[in-house]
Amino acid sequence: MRDIKLVIEYDGTNYVGWQTQANGRSVQEEITKVLDQVLQEPINLIGAGRTDAGVHARGQAAGFRTKSPLGLGTIHSALNGILPDDIYVKSVEDAPPGFHARFNAKDRMYRYYIALKPSAIGRMYHWFVKYDLNLAAMNVIAQQILGDCDFESFCKYEAEVHHHRCTVLHSEWTQRGDMLTYEIRANRFLHGMVRALVGTMVDVGRGYTHVDEFAGIVAAKDRRKAGMAAPPQGLFLEEITY
């Protein structure tokens, strides 16, 4: 048996998310179908992280085991030759024995994009926010979540997790022209966590929520206390580090 790792880019607009589901097309399902066809055996494809419907990825990682002797280059070419145009496999490589795309990951990095002006082109890849935003206030909040923190207030209720603690390594807002970018890197992420954080930070940026209220939102461990989830199309899974 061989362990193989994929790095994948996809436009999540037309998918129900990464994970295979009964209610529509998923990225995992599309890639698995092609792998089954190319390798002529059933494949169990495991992703490093789950992305929701409409969320995109530039650096999703996934792994699988196979008995097939096909070369990596042949597998790579076959995948990109058959997969739909909104999924692209960036690399196919041998992985260490027993590789697990999710459990072996050291950290993950996401970016969220907010446009300050409306745009017809690119509207599926950012969130247009019409309010004036105080970037300095949003960065105060971004810095408050660095280190080990309980993110239960920013996790979807139905998420099945043993605990809500994550270690955030980097958290920062930047602005370039009319585009704001939020970058966050952590050892793990809860279901809906980044979008809930962004929504809450936007509430702070527009003055709807005061900076001093944020610590109480975290301490409450109650999703109802945080802001709305930011729309999915602005979120990109950028990188998985092993």
pLDDT in tens, 134-173: 999 999 999 999 999 999 999 987 666 789 999 999 999 9
Q: Which fold has domain 2-94?
A: Alpha-Beta Plaits (3.30.70)
Instruction: List the catalytic residues.
Output: 52
**How far apart, in whole angstroms, are the C-alpha atoms of residue 91 and residue 225?**
41
The predicted pLDDT at position 159 comes to 60
Residues in a beta bridge with 94: 4
Domain ranges of the chain: 2-94, 107-241
DSSP assigned state of 229: P
**How far apart, in whole angstroms, are the C-alpha atoms of residue 103 and residue 72?**
23
Average pLDDT, the chain: 96
Query: What percentage of the chain's residues is helix, strand, coil (to nearest 5)?
Result: 30, 30, 40
* pTM of the shown model: 0.95
> Half-sphere exposure of 197 toward its Cβ, with a 13 Å CA cutoff?
32
**How far apart, in whole angstroms, are the C-alpha atoms of residue 4 and residue 98?**
10
The predicted pLDDT at position 161 comes to 76
One CATH from 2.60.40.10, 3.40.50.1820, 3.30.70.20, 3.30.70.660 for 107-241: 3.30.70.660
Rounded to 10 degrees, what is the CA torsion of 17, 20, 26, 30?
Answer: 150
Span 18-36, average pLDDT: 95
Query: Model confidence over 70-113: pLDDT tens digits?
Result: 999 999 999 999 999 999 999 999 999 999 999 999 999 999 99
Residue with tokens 């992985």: 95
